[in-house]
Structure 1
């Protein structure tokens, strides 16, 4: 976009901040939000930070009818010295543009948007909690707003960023969860939108999630949509297995989301000289590894939980208990290392951290 300025309108009525010891995920939102608009032939324009407020859009806006939208999720962390830093935000905006391409949404200027988010964080810096394990969750998203019921790409969009203070994902410690392998429903297929971060992928997962929760399971393990043999994701997370000393994760195949935490895990494992491979992993292979005692650990990876250890898999009536239902040594080390980097407690050898200048520039 040609105009690289951000208009700022500060709120006259600041909200009461929640108790940092009782933060729910995505329930309370900060005082301000970032917005910019797109219209042909102007392009992206009118970038602004304004008080958090409801949107006013036409009932015929295409987002309501055809779901042309994408989103991202990242976090800001307060360090022991009071600084605020983001974790690999450039990867989120690279992925956002990848999702944009799949959903026929105009590309964003990644550097400009990052600067806008850093300005938003600086303005709402008092919302970033101080309590250990807490953070500010940052949700950028794009919706199609053209008032038109024809099935075609929209010519009007809004890019919006909202933020929410969130608590520690693990309130009672990082404990392994029970997962049910899903044999009936499918999350995505190659050629579909599985590798894009679009709302429809998550809407299609809700039914299976509802069923397994009633059966006492935390999430579902998704299999491929063609052969129903090969593992893809666990819930809304990427998934890893440690088999006979080697860590394996499903390779990106067009239906699996390229997770930022997934990439971070792979880089750390290589840095530690732990064997790691990206390839197809079947449930039969996992079952046989469990039977012969070589399935050592399993865990999901994602922004919300970082690492979510898996203690049991249910598949075709079999209950595969992994590592006696306890968190594995490698899972714990990954969780401890990534979170320590995020909160600035240890050296960042990968240049993953982006610091926020807390002196708001108001106009960039």
Structure 2
């Protein structure tokens, strides 16, 4: 087992009242995990310490060149008191994929997993149990070298912080309205769109604000070259049910390989629902919406799990999906994924890991 030095807080924070709603990503637990990297020495000094401010030099490379990676997963408490993680191995796998693309040293998988387990265990009292809540886990790496030249950093800091959360969208499981972006692009093939890094998200903010002003919850991106093929939503992958077949954009180097995306695909296939991973043009989507062939649309992601889409807007056209409510398959996916996460449904796939 990884030897992690543990320093417990002497000034614990009040744990949120279980009857008060949790706003996503605004409250943080008592402790955090830290580990450092030094060129020639590797990753070293793993520790769990009280949640605290960071002290970095103004010249730290993360501030100037954006060399950083982050991940997101959740911990859940079952009715019998167990703590479950959902497919953490896939988050760790994706984190190291991002690290390779961003020239950040990979983190040994066993160390990564043990760090998650131990920091969650220390702050397990913070895991909320009200329906729709969970403990969000945010691992991230930042470049810390004090240097203003453009090269990979020689030093890094790996951290994990925890946040008790409610629904990502205020709508909860009510269908959201999605704006198909026709001006900006988020990423291009060959860039860093497939890495989970802050640069991809700041690239989406101008469009996100424009969409919010028009009453839309999220932006659905088109490809950056032909500007006609659907890619992903700002915080989710996207799925369409067209004439009984589930269709989702294929991974092409500019789309994030979502863990929940993979879960949806595997569940649908296990139920005998046909699934296609391929290019989906906005023209095809418009035609399917006009003819009624577009039966359901939903987003998938760690934060929202399943987010049904009730309306799509592209240019001057607005399309209602079905009756504007949650679709049958979307509901089944949500119930199944959350049921497995909470230990209420048998995990036949071996996806959960007990802390």
TM-score if structure 1 supplies the norm length?
0.95
2:206 is aligned to 207
Q: Deviations over 1:101-159 (max 9, x none)?
A: 00000010111111111011111111111222211100000000000000000000000
Q: Which residue of 2 aligns with 1:53?
A: 52
Q: What's the counterpart of residue 252 of structure 2?
A: 253
The alpha-carbon distance between structure 1 residues 155 and 127, as it changes in their structure 2 partners (threshold 3 A), is same
Partner of 2:13: 15
Using the TM superposition, give the Cα deviation of residue 171 of structure 1 relative to its aligned residue in structure 2, in angstroms.
6.4
Q: Is contact 2:292–2:322 with CA below 8 Å preserved after alignment? A: no
Is the partner of 2:318 in helix, strand or coil? strand
Match of 1:359 in 2: none
CA RMSD of superposed structures (Å): 1.2
Structure 2 Cα separation of the partners of residues 48 and 82 of structure 1: 26
Query: Paired residue for 1:224?
Result: 223
Structure 1: runs of 5+ lacking an equivalent: 357-364
* Correspondence list, 1:49-88, <5 A: 49-88=48-87
Aligned twin of 2:313: 314
Deviations 1:67-126 (A, max 9, x none): 000000000001011111100000001000000000000010111111111011111111
Q: Please, which moves more after superposition, 234-243 or 136-145?
A: 234-243
How far is 1:19 from its partner?
A: 1.9
- Please give the residue correspondences for 1:1-364 in structure 2 after superposition, counting only pairs within 5 Å: 4-20=2-18, 21-169=20-168, 174-356=173-355
Q: 1:257, 1:300 → 2: CA distance?
A: 13
Cα deviation, residue 188, structure 1: 0.4
TM-score by length of 2: 0.98
Specify whether residues 172 and 248 from structure 1 end up closer, same or farther in structure 2 by C-alpha distance, changes over 3 A only: closer
The count of corresponding residues between Structure 1 and Structure 2 is 354
| DSSP 3-state at the match of 1:53 | coil
CA–CA distance in structure 1, aligned partners of residues 161 and 288 of structure 2: 44
Match of 1:101, SS? helix
Q: CA deviation at 1:316?
A: 2.2
5+ residue gaps, structure 2: none
Give 1:320 shift.
1.2
- Which structure 1 residue ranges, 4+ long, deviate > 2 Å from structure 2? 168-173
How many angstroms apart in 2 are the aligned matches of 1:174 and 1:54? 35
Instruction: Give how far 1:234 is off.
Output: 1.4
Q: Residues of 1 paired with 2:39 and 2:338: CA distance?
A: 42
CA deviation profile, 1:252-287 (whole Å, cap 9, x unmatched)? 000000000000000000000000010000010011
- The answer to whether the 8 Å contact 2:38/2:154 transfers is yes
Asked if structure 1 preserves the Cα contact closer than 8 Å seen for 2:139 and 2:158, the reply is yes
The Cα shift of 1:222 comes to 0.3
Residues 37-65 of structure 1, C-alpha deviations (whole Å, 9 max, x = no match): 00010000000001110011111000000
